[in-house]
Amino acid sequence: MATMLLDAIQHGLALLYEAPIAHSVSDFLVTDAAVARALEAPDAARNNAERLLLRQTDDSLDITLFVDADILDKLGEHDPYQSLRADNLNDFLIALEGVSHFHYLVWNAQHHRQVTQLEMELQAEVDKFVTAMMLLDEQGHDTDAGAVHDTLFNAVRFDSDLDAECGQRYREANHYAAKYCRGLSRRHPAHHRAPSFLNEVRRFYRLAQNDKIRASDQR
């Protein structure tokens, strides 16, 4: 069930952005925190429930996605694709963030493009907003973009154990994604499947870091 959920998230992102990749996230998944720690550098931050673990060799990049088993177990009991609601939203967003990082990194690698950590974090925040809005709309909920925006960007709390550089990166990603998603909602109110909406988010997906930041200033 756990791998099926993550594969469903990945499939949704690939369709949304017209950005298929040749690899399935479930083939790169670990759910045991002890295994994840063994794969990480000694000084890596280890408190978060999802982490993309990277190991660079001379001619390749080894990728592992860790999503804590407890998160996946809870999502298995309360499937967000059946009903996305307050008691499973946070767990869904944690899983989605991990899949977003994996998919974005691999898609860019397939196109011989380098990405920054800030760029990946920013895109993941946009992915969470867009996916949540579309899923709530699909399930027939009254989707208040402002309420979803507040939940994702204003009610967020950053881990106090993060080092200064990592904490700053998360804050910047949150800031720029919040600006972009606020503008996105103004430009496409309640039209989450309209061609103009899809074309815009697909263009944004393909932008590099500095262009994403500039796009966040759109009104």
Q: What is the 3-state secondary structure (H, E, C) of the chain?
A: CHHHHHHHHHHHHHHHHCCCCCCCHHHHEECCHHHHHHHCCCCCCCCCCEEEEEEECCCCEEEEEEECHHHHHHHHHCCCCCCCCHHHHHHHHHHHHHHHHHHHHHHHHHCCCCCCHHHHHHHHHHHHHHHHHHHHHHCCCCCCHHHHHHHHHHCCCCCCCCCHHHHHHHHHHHHHHHHHHHHHHHHCCCCCCCHHHHHHHHHHHCCCHHHHHHHCCCC
The pLDDT of residue 45 is 59
Report the candidate in 218, 93, 100, 91 with the shortest Cα–Cα distance to residue 148: 93
The pLDDT of residue 218 is 85
The pLDDT of residue 163 is 78
Tokens of 149: 């925006």
What is the reported pTM? 0.94
The pLDDT of residue 208 is 97
Domains of the chain by residue range: 1-105, 115-219
The pLDDT of residue 204 is 98
Question: CA–CA separation, 181 vs 216, rounded Å?
Answer: 8
The pLDDT of residue 166 is 83
Taking residue 34's Cβ as centre, other Cβ atoms within 10 Å add up to 7
Question: CA–CA separation, 120 vs 103, rounded Å?
Answer: 10
Q: Given the structure tokens 């990277």, which residue do they identify?
A: 54
Question: CA–CA separation, 103 vs 45, rounded Å?
Answer: 21
Tokens of 51: 């982490």
Tokens of 217: 């200033």
Tokens of 78: 């309360």
**Which residue ranges in the chain fall short of pLDDT 50?**
none
The pLDDT of residue 160 is 67
Q: Checking DSSP bridges between strand 61-67 and strand 50-56, what pairing results, if any?
A: antiparallel
